[in-house]
A = this chain, B = another copy of it.
Amino acid sequence: MSGHQPTPPGTPNVTGILTDWIVDTNGPDIPNEIRHEGLRTFVNWVGCAVGGASHETVDAALNGLLAFSGRSTSTVLGRAERMDALHAALLNGISSHVLDYDDTHLKTIIHPAGPVASAILALAETRPVSGYDFLTALILGVEAECRIGNCVYPAHYDRGWHITGTAGVFGAAAAAGKILGLTKQQMRWAFGIAGTQSSGFREQFGTMTKSFHPGRAAQNGLASALLAQAGFDSSERVLEAPRGFACVMSDKQDWDEIIEGLGTRWEAGLNSYKPFACGIVIHPTIDGCIQLRSELGDRVNDIESVHLVAHPLVLELTGKQTPQTGLEAKFSVFHSAACALLRGDGSPTAFTDTVVKEPDVVALRDTITAVADPACHSASVTIEVRFKDGPPVIKHVERALGSREVPLTDDQVTEKFRAQSALVIGEEATQKLLDVSWSTPELDDVADVARTSSENAWVSGAAA
């Protein structure tokens, strides 16, 4: 009746159960290993946001919106510009995702930190928030968005939704609401306002608008929590209502994924960190090609052709044969394999507008073929390299670097951070930022991380 419709008999009170749990859960309720994964999630995100801060996508967003910013309380990480918290959330969400180098909840392909950390670090610059409380909110936000993603994945993603945006807005609202100390009713409203903004099409992959999705999710989730705190009301069952999120935007609704095992089963503990600056599905190929390069030595120059047998999503998502820009190259398993074989590179420098047109890369790329094998695990690949003379070499990657089975160590997270951040703010500032980021659990004011990121800020001619 009216816009509302009753839920089918037996539908649990999904929104209420999840939001009550978020309000009731405190830092000590979270196991230490999950808190440490939350810290890794945050540190990796800081590195990615600084690493992306010099990208033209960030320049364009600033050029379009800086004139509309409010009181400049909050840092655009790695840059000199400061904005109001809502706009800073948008910009940091963009920069942390623009290199496709961030984190991944592998069950759903959600990149969890972008929407969540972007929202609450910008918010934390408007009021004192300890590093401990910040990480509690971050973990709860990641938990919410990944559980909501599990509820609807894969049907929701298959329909064409960019799940990092659509689920991320809930994570941002949850985390911001936790920082703001929302009541249970306000938290339900915050979810309602956030959910009704859930959006973002996969059609945008390969354009600047892809990274706009986690940014806008951060901004909209934060705004939802602020509005709810101010008494702006909303549906209190946005997740489960027949005309709410899961039913409107997905053919699959598995409510247990959201409400079962809260506090004991932690999706936030399953986050992973990309070792390579592109879509996660290409990572086994890059890992294998870099291994091949070190094993083959100079013979990489004698390669006649390369053949890949990969998970079907590899061709579905990254089947671009002839990418013309760095952004497009991130969606080309062919470019990625060529660059890894010839340069041993899967970092941001492998996905520039220049390298995508370099003759040796183009020549090897055009010899590469790929087939989809439904039996192939998404973290696996088999690579067959054929030479002008001699027998072929076959490399099978069972689980790629960065997968749950082969996670990056803390040191590898640090090295990844260092490599991308140093290109933007230099090595000295990067070391200082690394130190303060890893010390987050002990910080009295987590905003120190944001401020430190801009001490030797990137200044773009375009946006300055």
Taking beta carbons and an 8 Å cutoff, which residues of A are in contact with B?
1-4, 56-57, 60-61, 63-65, 67-71, 84-86, 159-162, 192-193, 195-210, 212-213, 216, 223, 226-235, 237-238, 241-245, 247-248, 315-321, 328, 331
A70-B67, A199-B198, A201-B196 known; A2 vs B206 contact (CB < 8 Å): yes
Contact status B69-A320, CB under 8 Å: no
CA distance A204 to B198 in the complex (A): 13
List chain B residues, Cβ under 8 A from A248.
159-161, 201
A238-B201, A244-B201 known; A60 vs B216 contact (CB < 8 Å): no
Contact status A231-B319, CB under 8 Å: no
List chain B residues, Cβ under 8 A from A238.
201, 203
* Nearest B-chain residue to A228, judged by Cβ: B64
CA distance A159 to B251 in the complex (A): 11
List chain B residues, Cβ under 8 A from A232.
57, 60-61, 64, 208-209, 212
- Shortest distance from the beta carbon of A321 to any chain B beta carbon, whole Å: 8
Contact status B317-A3, CB under 8 Å: yes
List chain B residues, Cβ under 8 A from A2.
205-206, 317-320, 328, 331
CA distance A294 to B159 in the complex (A): 54
Given A65-B230, A202-B243: 14 more A-B contacts, CB < 8 Å? A1-B320, A2-B320, A3-B204, A56-B231, A60-B231, A67-B70, A68-B71, A160-B248, A196-B203, A198-B199, A199-B199, A201-B241, A209-B232, A212-B232
Q: List 6 A-B contacts (CB under 8 A).
A: A2-B319, A3-B202, A64-B228, A65-B86, A65-B226, A197-B216
CA distance A2 to B197 in the complex (A): 25
CA distance A57 to B189 in the complex (A): 14
List chain B residues, Cβ under 8 A from A243.
160, 201-203
* Nearest B-chain residue to A85, judged by Cβ: B68
A69-B70, A209-B233, A209-B235 known; A3 vs B331 contact (CB < 8 Å): yes
Q: Which 7 A-B pairs have the closest CB atoms?
A: A3-B205, A64-B230, A160-B243, A2-B331, A1-B319, A63-B230, A3-B202
* Nearest B-chain residue to A316, judged by Cβ: B1
| Oligomer copy total | 2
Contact status B235-A207, CB under 8 Å: yes
- Shortest distance from the beta carbon of A50 to any chain B beta carbon, whole Å: 21
Contact status A208-B234, CB under 8 Å: yes
* Nearest B-chain residue to A220, judged by Cβ: B216
Contact status A64-B229, CB under 8 Å: yes
A3-B210, A64-B227 known; A196 vs B193 contact (CB < 8 Å): no
- Shortest distance from the beta carbon of A326 to any chain B beta carbon, whole Å: 13
List chain B residues, Cβ under 8 A from A160.
242-244, 247-248
Contact status B3-A227, CB under 8 Å: no
Contact status B230-A204, CB under 8 Å: no
- Shortest distance from the beta carbon of A263 to any chain B beta carbon, whole Å: 28
Contact status A65-B210, CB under 8 Å: no
List chain B residues, Cβ under 8 A from A84.
68-70
Contact status A4-B205, CB under 8 Å: yes
- Shortest distance from the beta carbon of A15 to any chain B beta carbon, whole Å: 11
* Nearest B-chain residue to A193, judged by Cβ: B209
List chain B residues, Cβ under 8 A from A208.
232-234
CA distance A308 to B85 in the complex (A): 52
Contact status B216-A204, CB under 8 Å: no
List chain B residues, Cβ under 8 A from A64.
223, 226-230, 232
* Nearest B-chain residue to A241, judged by Cβ: B203
A1-B315, A160-B242 known; A192 vs B204 contact (CB < 8 Å): yes
Contact status B196-A227, CB under 8 Å: no
Contact status B206-A234, CB under 8 Å: no
List chain B residues, Cβ under 8 A from A71.
67-68
* Nearest B-chain residue to A323, judged by Cβ: B2
CA distance A232 to B205 in the complex (A): 14
Contact status B319-A204, CB under 8 Å: no
List chain B residues, Cβ under 8 A from A205.
2-4
